[in-house]
């Protein structure tokens, strides 16, 4: 891999603005919810803002009845809402050191940056306010939602700065910390795009439970989508032969043929665990792979369908 492939720079992420042309996060039937075992969220895409109260009419949703006004005036009244013009879109980047890994076109960390940049440009061009939560340091970095380039540029700069520069073990609790930081900030109707390899969600421990609990609270308030970063080596295993694997200071030898069965079993279990979380929370789950260029893999999921006139 070239240096640029290893570590995307700001100029590359800025150039992805062109790839965002014609794409939308407001598709009527979002393909993000249909790929790789996706699970459709029940949440609405745009937020709703209170406008006024009027007399209840047959056909109105009973859930919008304003009971205080009804009691005060003696007749049923319902609340009217209008769509927010600028929906908050949050990109949660689980940018832990374990993402410094890739066997094909790019590292998983580079895949995260490129996907986040393209999604950010799409959100901005659609009139949404873009914010972000980036893990990977001592504490998550929070960038409040802002409109247009004022939202995109700080996020891209922060992602370039935070990307790992050397292989290391995943940072325990990083995803949980990011979700806990986001939880009190999410407004009803927000869109949350969670980019992660979900390392740790395939194990049963207190941190996994805390991450799922925080994610469930966020999903109850927003339209939340899980974008799962993977690499072909994780699912296919090592080819036949002996390989030295690990991270600096923790290296060992593996035989591809001898490890194949255990490797396949571990991947199957991990995949099932991550998909089970998505099913329990009723969240769309989309897989992005390092073997595919983001400019090729994401646009088909974000392109508006053509409707007959």
What is the location of CATH 3.40.50 in the chain?
Answer: 3-44+86-302
DSSP string, 210-276: HHHHHHHHHHHHEEEEEEEEE-HHHHH-PPSSEEEEEETTEEEEEEHHHHHHHHHHHHHHHHHHHHH
What pairing do the DSSP bridges indicate for beta strands 222-230 and 190-196? parallel
> Of 23, 35, 8, whose CA–CA distance to 225 is shortest?
35
Residue 306 is predicted with a pLDDT of 36
* Distance (Å, whole) CA 296 – CA 248: 33
Give me the count of residues in the chain. Answer: 309
Instruction: Note whether 154 and 114 are within 8 A (CB).
Output: no
- Here the tokens at position 8 are 């995307």
CATH number for 3-44+86-302 (one of 1.20.5, 3.40.50, 1.10.287, 2.60.120): it is: 3.40.50
Residue 101 CA, chain-centre distance (Å), reads: 19
Cβ atoms within 10 Å, residue 138: 7
Q: How far is it, in rounded angstroms, from Cα 49 to Cα 33?
A: 26
Q: In angstroms, rounded to a whole number, what is the distance separating the alpha carbons of residues 142 and 131?
A: 8
The pLDDT of residue 226 is 95
Q: Which of 244, 210, 229 is nearest to 289 (CA)?
A: 229
Give the pLDDT means over successive 10-residue stretches in the chain (309 positions): 75 95 68 42 46 77 86 88 72 94 91 97 93 90 94 97 87 89 93 92 71 93 94 76 65 62 82 93 94 91 50
In angstroms, the CA 22 to CA 9 distance is 24
Residue 16: exposed, middle, or buried by beta-carbon count in 10 A (0-12, 13-18, 19+)? buried
Strands 222-230 and 285-289: parallel
The pTM assigned to this predicted structure is 0.77
Report the SS3 class of residue 105.
Answer: coil
Predicted confidence at residue 3, as pLDDT, reads 52
- Other CB atoms within 10 A of residue 127 CB: 13
In the block, residue with structure tokens 């900030």: 185
Q: CA 47 to CA 66: how far, in whole Å?
A: 19
Residues 47-78: b if buried by 16+ CB within 10 A, e if exposed:
beeeeebeebeeebeeeebbeebbeeeeeebb
The whole-number pLDDT of residue 255 equals 58
**pLDDT averaged over every residue in the chain:** 82
pLDDT of res. 119: 97
Q: Are strands 222-230 and 48-55 parallel, antiparallel or unpaired?
A: unpaired
Q: Give tens-digit pLDDT for 265-278.
A: 888 888 999 999 99
Q: How far apart are CA 239 and CA 212, in angstroms?
A: 34
Helical segments of 56-143, H only: 67-73, 108-125
Burial 183-205 (b: 16+ CB within 10 A, else e): eeebeebbbbbbbbbbbbbbeee
The two three-digit tokens of residue 96, written as one number:
């832990």
């Amino acid at each position: 891999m070239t240096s640029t492939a290893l570590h995307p720079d700001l100029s590359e992420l800025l150039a992805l603005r062109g790839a965002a042309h014609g794409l939308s996060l407001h598709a009527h039937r979002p393909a993000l919810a249909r790929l790789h075992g996706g699970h459709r969220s029940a949440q609405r895409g745009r937020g709703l803002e209170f406008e006024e109260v009027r007399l209840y009419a047959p056909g109105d949703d009973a859930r919008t009845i304003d009971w205080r006004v009804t009691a005060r005036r003696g007749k049923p009244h319902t609340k009217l809402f209008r769509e927010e013009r600028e929906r908050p879109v949050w990109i949660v980047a689980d940018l832990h050191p374990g993402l410094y890994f890739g066997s094909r076109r790019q590292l998983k960390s580079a895949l995260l940056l490129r996907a986040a940049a393209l999604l950010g440009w799409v959100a901005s061009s659609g009139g949404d306010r873009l914010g972000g939560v980036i893990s990977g340091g001592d504490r998550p970095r929070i960038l409040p939602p802002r409109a247009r380039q004022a939202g995109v540029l700080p996020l891209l700069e922060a992602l370039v700065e935070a990307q790992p520069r050397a292989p290391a073990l995943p940072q325990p609790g990083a995803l949980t910390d990011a979700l806990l930081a986001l939880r009190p900030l999410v407004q009803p109707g927000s869109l949350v795009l969670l980019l992660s390899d979900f390392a740790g969600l395939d194990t049963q421990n207190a941190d996994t439970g805390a991450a799922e609990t925080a994610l469930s609270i966020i999903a109850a308030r927003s339209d939340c989508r899980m974008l799962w970063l993977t690499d072909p080596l994780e699912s296919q295993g090592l080819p036949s032969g002996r390989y030295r694997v690990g991270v600096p200071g923790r290296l060992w030898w593996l035989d591809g043929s001898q490890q194949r069965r255990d490797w396949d079993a571990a991947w199957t279990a991990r995949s099932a665990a991550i998909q089970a979380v998505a099913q329990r929370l009723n969240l769309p789950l989309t897989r992005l792979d390092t073997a595919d260029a983001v400019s090729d893999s994401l646009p088909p999921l974000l392109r508006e369908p053509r409707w007959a006139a």
